[in-house]
A and B are shown apart, each in its own frame.
Chain A
Amino acid sequence: MSEKELGQKWDRCLADCAVKFGTGLGLGIVFSVVFFKRRTWPIVFGTGLGLGMAYSNCQNDLRSRYVLHSKYFSFEQK
């Protein structure tokens, strides 16, 4: 059903967001601990990265129907 599609997309979106957020957080913590002497900024950076990616993905997913795909064609005039 077409009405369910949107809901599905949102579900994916949220799931993706959660995953990315978690992953970002984790990586941030890891990097902060390992490379940056337990500074806050890598965590925040990682989280932000994760959220950003999730946001972008979500947007793209929701937008996917409206995006125009173009291809380059070269043909000679006869």
Chain B
Amino acid sequence: MLRVCWKGAHAAARQCVCGKVKAHPLQLCRRYSTAGDSGSTAGKIVAASLLTVGGGLGGTILYAKWDPKFRANVEKSVPYSDQLFEMALGPPPPPLVTLQKKPGKIEPLQISSLSEASKESKQPKAKAKKSDPAPVEAPAAVEEAPAPTPQTLKEASAEAAHIISAIGEVPSVPAPGTSDESPPGHTAADEECKDHHEPVLKERPAEEVTARLAQQDKAEQDALAALTAGLEESLGSTAKTTLQAIGAQEAALTAIAAHTNKLKEAMDSQTPPDEKSSQWKALNEALSERTRAMEEAEEALLKAKGELENLSGVINSSKQSKINTARPQILAAEENLHSMIVDLDKVVTKVQTAQTEAKIVSQYSELVNEAKAQFQQELANITPEIQANWKRLSGKLSADDLNSLIAHAHRRIDQLNRELAEQRVREQIHIEVALEQQKLEDQKALERAVVSALEHSREDMRLEQEKKAQEVREVMEAEMRTQLRRQAAAHTDHLRDVLKVQEQELREEAQEILNSKMMEQETHYRRLTQEQLDTFTLDMNAAYARLKGIEEAIDSHVIAEEEARKAHQLWLSVEALNYTLKSAGADFPTEPLEGAVGVIKENCAGNEFAQALATAIPEESLSRGIYSEASLRARFFDIRRLARRVALIDETRNSLYQYFLSYLQSVLLFEREQVAPPAKLAPEDLDTFKLLAYANYSIERGDLELAAKFVNQLRGESQRVAQDWLKEARLTLETKQVISLLSAYANAVGLGTTQAP
């Protein structure tokens, strides 16, 4: 079999060698064959790698340009990439700052605009009644605070307007000293409101208010009296003058009428001639009378107009004094004024119509006179001599004169006929012209009349309106008074209720306090009694406890003595065991420890701990005994020598050649025999020689346990060699440990049971 093996080995060796020889030329060939291509492939490889690297770099830079996050990541991870990026792309973009300021900014803007909107909405709502601006502002402020989310401007303003309107509806006490008047204009009310926003309204004390009210009333009264006096005076004077003017106008009217009548009479040529002159005289008188009356009328009219203007001025000034109670008087005065003006105008128009009539009549009379004069002149021309004796013509006319007269008369008749015809034609035209003139004049008169009528009606309406307003105001005043009275009544009721409630509350409080005090006193008394009881029971308990304690102490004394006796016995038996340990010789073990251990077991029958310990002593030591430390030490030297010799032998290395090598190693290796072991064992300390050195050191110092630990770490053949020694060492150590425990225990028990003197 050996031969077969040997042959096989030879064959394998040969193959190996041949194989090696065969491989070489191929390798050489390969090297020779690839020598030429190696340069180009190397170049290709270099080029490819450069390309890849460049591509990667370029791609990274491009992507970093596009994605700043990626750029940040790369800069963080790769050390100098940030410089590269800065060079290639420029500085990194700044990080986005969250716009948290904007919502904050929006809110104050909205709130300020809200207040503005509320202010704006306040203005249009400002009425003649003055509402307190303070409550208006407070709800506006309240509105601002609980608005967490920014509302739109419209919503906020609408809400503010609602609130303000709601407040405006509430009837509030008008501030004293201000009269309610229809505001002259929008701006005045705005100014008033604005003025009262700034200063804070303070509540004036009641007496001051009443004093002020009284003062203001008095002042009002005085002003009113003055005003009424002035008004009446002016009214009286104006009425007088107006009446005078009217009288004058009417006188003028009558004069004009008389004059025109007289003139008409004079025109009629049916009166005898001698009466004519008187007629004419009367006419002249009438004319002069008329002119005089007209002048008087004019004067009176002017005066009346002046007085009327005066009166209107006084009325306006009294209007501006703004006294409430004078209004009806002012109204009456205005009415009077208006009626006077109306009457005056009527009379004036009458006079004017009369005047136009008179003009027409006078024109007519003039025309007639003219015609008459003309006729006379013609007649005189034709018959000059007859003319002087026109009145005596009745019987002295000759035939020639008669014929000439008749011819003249005929001629005259023809002429007159022609003239008549002409006149008829002209009459038409004249009539048309006159009609047109009349139309114009009528139109003018109409216009004037219309204008004056319009003005009169306007005045009427205005007066009516003012009267109505006055009535309404009075009604409102009365209503407000009733409401105020109602409010006062409600206030007194409320006060009464509140007082009742308060009384109730106070009474209850007092009752509660009384109850609580009573309870306190009771609890105090109870506590005191309880305390007394407690102290008594405590004393009793204490006395009883002491009695019990005394009894227990006596009992425990007895027990303690018993314990002490037992402990003493235990100790004695443990000492006996220790003594037996000393019976070990140099090379043979001690006596078997059975006897001593048996004694111990007897002695500590009731003690579990000692029993356990006694049973924990290994069997071997009981039956055979243990070796002493000294013998183990001696044995250790042999072990050490042997272990060093077979240090290299283990499962893998165990041929004779290895044995030889191991022996050689042990001979040639120079080291310290004893080396202090370190606190911690490192893996390189697990070398056989080192371990043996540590163990040697420990055993020389008397530390068998540590030496055993080190020996336990041996491996391989060394371990097998030291096996028995280790077993013995373990045994000894165990037994010694148990015995020392027992003796310690016995000592402890003995100490525990000794009583202090």
Q: Flag whether B642 is at the interface (Cβ < 8 A).
A: yes
State A59–B653 Cα separation when bound (angstroms). 11
**Contact partners of A6 in chain B: CB under 8 A:** 642, 646, 717, 721
CB-nearest residue of chain A to B652 = A66
**Contact partners of B745 in chain A: CB under 8 A:** none
CB contact list, A20-75 vs B, under 8 A: 52, 55, 58-59, 62-63, 65-66
**Contact partners of A3 in chain B: CB under 8 A:** 635, 638-639, 642, 721-722, 724-725
Query: Looking at the complex, which one of B638, B642, B659 makes contact with A62 (CB distance below 8 Å)?
Result: B659
**Contact partners of B642 in chain A: CB under 8 A:** 3, 6
Q: B721 near A63 (CB under 8 angstroms)?
A: no
Query: Looking at the complex, which one of B2, B635, B639, B654 makes contact with A63 (CB distance below 8 Å)?
Result: B654
Query: Looking at the complex, which one of B651, B654, B655, B722 makes contact with A2 (CB distance below 8 Å)?
Result: B722
State A37–B724 Cα separation when bound (angstroms). 56
Q: B656 near A2 (CB under 8 angstroms)?
A: no
Main secondary structure of the interface of B (DSSP, over half): helix
**Contact partners of A58 in chain B: CB under 8 A:** 656
Number of A-B contacts (CB under 8 A): 36
State A55–B635 Cα separation when bound (angstroms). 31
Q: Flag whether B473 is at the interface (Cβ < 8 A).
A: no
**Contact partners of A62 in chain B: CB under 8 A:** 654, 656, 659
CB-nearest residue of chain B to A13 = B656
Give the Cβ gap from B457 to chain A, nearest Cβ, in Å: 134
Q: Flag whether B723 is at the interface (Cβ < 8 A).
A: yes
State A6–B659 Cα separation when bound (angstroms). 11
**Contact partners of B491 in chain A: CB under 8 A:** none
Q: Flag whether B468 is at the interface (Cβ < 8 A).
A: no
State A2–B643 Cα separation when bound (angstroms). 11
**Contact partners of A55 in chain B: CB under 8 A:** 656
Main secondary structure of the interface of A (DSSP, over half): helix
Q: A63 near B720 (CB under 8 angstroms)?
A: no
**Contact partners of B639 in chain A: CB under 8 A:** 3
Give the Cβ gap from B639 to chain A, nearest Cβ, in Å: 6
**Contact partners of A66 in chain B: CB under 8 A:** 650-651, 654
Q: A2 near B721 (CB under 8 angstroms)?
A: yes
CB-nearest residue of chain B to A4 = B724
**Contact partners of B720 in chain A: CB under 8 A:** 2, 5, 65
**Contact partners of B724 in chain A: CB under 8 A:** 1-3
Give the Cβ gap from B119 to chain A, nearest Cβ, in Å: 100
**Contact partners of B654 in chain A: CB under 8 A:** 62-63, 66
CB-nearest residue of chain A to B727 = A2
CB-nearest residue of chain A to B659 = A62
0/1 interface trace, chain B 728-739, chain A, CB 8 Å (1 if under): 000000000000
Query: Looking at the complex, which one of A1, A52, A63 makes contact with B655 (CB distance below 8 Å)?
Result: A63
State A58–B655 Cα separation when bound (angstroms). 9
State A62–B717 Cα separation when bound (angstroms). 10
State A55–B633 Cα separation when bound (angstroms). 35
CB contact list, B64-81 vs A, under 8 A: none
CB-nearest residue of chain B to A65 = B720
State A3–B723 Cα separation when bound (angstroms). 8
Q: B723 near A59 (CB under 8 angstroms)?
A: no
0/1 interface trace, chain B 628-658, chain A, CB 8 Å (1 if under): 0000000100110010001000110011100
| Known contacts A62-B654, A66-B650, then 17 further A-B pairs from the complex at CB < 8 Å, ordered by chain A residue | A1-B725, A2-B721, A2-B723, A2-B725, A3-B638, A3-B639, A3-B725, A5-B721, A6-B642, A6-B646, A6-B717, A6-B721, A58-B656, A59-B655, A62-B656, A62-B659, A65-B720
Nearest 9 A/B pairs, CB to CB? A2-B724, A2-B723, A1-B724, A63-B654, A66-B651, A59-B656, A3-B721, A3-B642, A66-B654
Query: What are 10 A-to-B residue pairs whose CB atoms are below 8 Å?
Result: A2-B723, A3-B724, A5-B721, A6-B642, A6-B646, A6-B717, A6-B721, A55-B656, A62-B654, A66-B650
